[in-house]
Chains A and B, each alone.
Chain A
């Protein structure tokens, strides 16, 4: 029988592209988190730069806007001494009608070594990974509703940093699960790393019941969802959901699923509150919680750079 290999791994099981957390073995996730720990200390040095990617060209291909994610990838690549080229594709070739693969072929001819791809279509990074030269690595920086693996990994790094291990935790993911690539990546990572209780919390229109098939506990009641949680991951409520028929209003949503101090008091006393940002104060999270002592939202951003450095340096050291 011909085994179908995970396109993210080479024949030795080493990571050559990061496209999705789904299907990655625990050892690979752990390797990334351990490596990120090494890079975190680079921020404390006089010289905040190490030469691992010296002479390599990293192309940030953002077909969809995201200043924050692009910036953290750019900082991570620069701290590894790579040359970084930012392409705001939304404004260039694609609007002139060039196909995705033609864009990639052109950039490859400019000797790219790594593509960091953000795209509104699920699967676009897979397509690129399949068609690029063998020495080129692809990192998915968010594709459609599918996956946002570096966000998932930085969330895991944050959890491990504060909670030390995964195997006795209750983690609640709250909000628009159905449209969230962050939620999907988090749930796959939490499952792979052995978190015993994962809860998906939100209204019926935004939290599909079939999540139960993934071993997730579905809660349509905020109090039930947050009760005794060790970790609460809030998701951003995208404004465009409000205009559709999915939600009545931001105020109504906040009343039912907003994270307030009263609700948070139901969780464990040492609960941490996470959010991938940008946060909508007063829509999914109260300012007193976002700025409060349980919030680790800003450390997440710092850890995100170390995690992206880890991913890029691991990829660059592995051959297809």
Chain B
């Protein structure tokens, strides 16, 4: 059994501190839709990076497209800065298999050739299927495969975690 009394706000504070240490003056934050995008927006404001924040969607590069179809289409990539030569810090709520990151990196390269791409996450839940590793994770935990963990944003902007049973 996993204790799921995860305090998303407390983890966010740790993420903010961790990302703060990783930032260089030319680092731009790019949040992975949807949970990572909320995190990146708030981090960008809290850490006053001075750069616009990007949002990236894995939809068009997913490897399970044949099985899942397109699904929700509100996810759209918006990168309001030059990608060529950029130092990019990807932000996501949860990393597991690493497949989303693979898709997102492909998406990123459709826009140009960044100088570097790193990843910071709120939660690393293990179960990697690809050689992908975050440079910062606010928490590491192991969850049963049938449980899906995702970030939710309350009306007042506060973060909580939602756990869903998948079939």
Contacts and interface: CB of A to CB of B under 8 A. Distances in A.
Contact of A50 (B60, B69, B73): B60
Contact of A317 (B68, B74, B106): B68
A5 interface: no
A318 B70 CA distance: 9
Contacts of B70: 35, 52, 313-314, 317
A47 B60 contact: no
A42 B59 CA distance: 12
Interface in B104-118: 106, 109-112
B69 A314 contact: yes
Interface string B52-70: 0000010111000110111
Contact of B74 (A34, A50, A314): A34
Given A38-B60, A46-B111, A51-B61, A14 B69 contact: yes
B145 interface: no
A317 B69 contact: yes
A47 B113 CA distance: 11
Nearest to A50: B60
B44 interface: no
B76 A38 contact: yes
B73 A45 contact: no
A37 interface: yes
A55 to B, nearest CB: 9
A171 B61 CA distance: 38
A42 B61 CA distance: 12
B103 to A, nearest CB: 9
A88 to B, nearest CB: 30
Contacts of A41: 76-77
A314 B71 CA distance: 9
Contacts of B65: 52, 316-317
A317 B67 CA distance: 7
Contacts of A46: 110-112
Nearest to A35: B73
A31 interface: yes
A38 B73 CA distance: 7
Interface in A21-77: 31, 34-35, 37-38, 41-42, 45-47, 49-52
Nearest to A42: B60
Given A314-B70, A318-B69, A50 B110 contact: yes
Interface in B25-61: 57, 59-61
B76 A37 contact: yes
A45 B110 contact: yes
B78 to A, nearest CB: 8
Nearest to B84: A46
Interface string B109-143: 11110000000000000000000000000000000
A47 B73 CA distance: 20
Contacts of A52: 60, 65, 70
A31 B72 CA distance: 9
A317 B66 contact: yes
A35 B110 CA distance: 19
B109 A50 contact: no
A316 B59 CA distance: 14
Contacts of A316: 65-66
A47 B69 contact: no
Interface of B: 57, 59-61, 65-66, 68-70, 73-77, 106, 109-112
26 contacts: A14-B69, A31-B73, A34-B73, A35-B70, A37-B73, A38-B73, A38-B75, A41-B77, A42-B60, A45-B110, A45-B111, A46-B110, A46-B111, A46-B112, A47-B110, A47-B111, A49-B110, A50-B61, A51-B60, A51-B61, A51-B106, A52-B60, A52-B70, A313-B70, A314-B70, A317-B68
